[in-house]
Amino acid sequence: MDPGSADQKHFNLKTPKGTRDFNDKEMAIRERIFTTITSVFKRHGAVTIDTPVFELREILSGKYGEDSKLIYDLVDQGGELTSLRYDLTVPFARFLAMNGQKYQNIKRYHIAKVYRRDNPSITKGRMREFYQCDFDVAGTYDPMLPDAEVLKVTVEALSALDIGSFTVKLNHRKILDGMFEVCGVPVEKFRPISSAVDKLDKAPWAEVRREMVEEKGLDPVVADRIEKYVSLSGGADVIKKLEEDTEFVGSERARKGLEEMKLLLKYLDSMGIAEKILFDLSLARGLDYYTGPIYEAVFNNPADGAGYDGELVGVGSIAAGGRYDNLVGMFSGGRQIPCVGVSLGIERIFSILLRKTKLEEVKSNEVEVYVIGLGDGVLEERIRIAAELWDAGIKAEFSYKVKPRLQSEFDTCDRDQIPFSVLVGPGEVKDGKVRVKDMTDKSEENKRGVLIDRAALVTELKLRLC
């Protein structure tokens, strides 16, 4: 087609709503995030698995409470109704149900994309296509030990990423349900009211109360009783206060939840992360499948001038998870495999680090050495040197021009932050020599680099790179 013809199609050059491209420097940041998190997961003995990007629709439906409306359903293909995965937890439960004999006990991690028809906000890291990094422990163990390690993994990973100050809010579904029971919430409204309570981190109590009463039909008197409890947060002092509440401990659910929470807090103290944990009765986690401890890591917005470029208010949770003992049984005829896990929100973590980082200072390639030609007639020698460095495991590049300008090659080293160069000209080739130059040293003495024997090049570079 003639590019200038009237029939030429004009494309709307944009990514779909809730998605985005990442340039080379942004991807360098993201890769470091993945590498850091993976190293923490492996340190704790986890293995990795993978599952399809879409599941049978019946596998996903009914597992996410009110958020089920955010599932992406696909067009019928070949008689199977399928949907894009909403998270990595339900596919993991399906995997365990299918392979339960072999994987009754497994510590696994999974890093992959998930999809949600959410109302996106790119700047706050809320996307329709995004990565999750999950760490889960499946199997029957003594109470709260796997839960404590999952929280330890969460704190380790977020600390290693150096995002700044964060807090892990912690609650327990049994305590939450016991609270609803004591306050007089009908059992059939536990999950809808729980979903409303979960919005207290984003909305004031008056707005949450209005949703409970006007939208979900809760008795106003009952709603007012709930306020007394959801305002509580702290540590062991909150447990003590609840234990002194005779009405609250009159609920068997609440009593069992408090016992497990006391044990969990003791283990978290032994693991050295108690100062990062906040027992918060307003934390509800709206997903239907949680059965025990639930948690959510939140970024503590920095003060002005704390090294962040731009406002980070409203980023939301950067990690979340909990115990889900009954999910596998939904797929395996009642045979349960208890599970607990956490999911790290990569996009929100990335949005924080992106504001903290000066992109022009990010090295997006890993090249360590640039082979530079001095004068004409040394192209083949540059090629031979580059090939020798590659074979030795050294990351290297050279110009694709037969006669590159010397200043252009130096500019490439500066732009790509390449720490060393190898300079070779006709004279060096004749004498069996090369010059090694530290590109970070701009002194006059280092202008021409250090002359060494050609045969010693690899050894010299490896010493310098170490």
Q: Within this chain, do residues 165 and 252 fall inside the same structural domain, yes or no? A: yes
Give the model's confidence band at 306: pLDDT under 50 very low, under 70 low, under 90 confident, else very high.
Answer: very low
Whether 421 contacts 462, CB under 8 Å: no
pLDDT > 70 in the chain, percent = 94
Does 400 appear as a known binding residue? no
Does 132 appear as a known binding residue? yes
Q: Within this chain, do residues 70 and 188 fall inside the same structural domain, yes or no? A: yes
Residues of the domain holding 69: 24-359
Does 72 appear as a known binding residue? no
297 inside domain: yes
Q: Within this chain, do residues 142 and 275 fall inside the same structural domain, yes or no? A: yes
Q: Closest Cα to residue 347, out of 131, 119, 160, 154?
A: 131
Q: Within this chain, do residues 340 and 394 fall inside the same structural domain, yes or no? A: no
Question: What does the pLDDT look like over 437-463, one tens digit per residue?
Answer: 999 999 988 888 999 999 999 999 999
Does 136 appear as a known binding residue? yes
Q: Within this chain, do residues 343 and 390 fall inside the same structural domain, yes or no? A: no
Does 32 appear as a known binding residue? no
Q: What is the pTM of this model?
A: 0.88
Partnered with residue 111 across adjacent β-strands are 133
Give the model's confidence band at 201: pLDDT under 50 very low, under 70 low, under 90 confident, else very high.
Answer: confident
> Whats the size of the chain, residue-wise?
466
Does 440 appear as a known binding residue? no
Does 308 appear as a known binding residue? no
d(C-alpha 197, C-alpha 85), whole Å: 26
Give the model's confidence band at 125: pLDDT under 50 very low, under 70 low, under 90 confident, else very high.
Answer: low
Q: Helical H runs in 323-405?
A: 346-356, 379-391
pLDDT of residue 310: 46
What is the three-class DSSP state of 280?
strand
Structural domain ending residue among the three candidates 325, 359, 393: 359
Whether 331 contacts 93, CB under 8 Å: yes
14 inside domain: no
Per-residue pLDDT, averaged over 362-385, amounts to: 95
Does 289 appear as a known binding residue? yes
Does 291 appear as a known binding residue? no
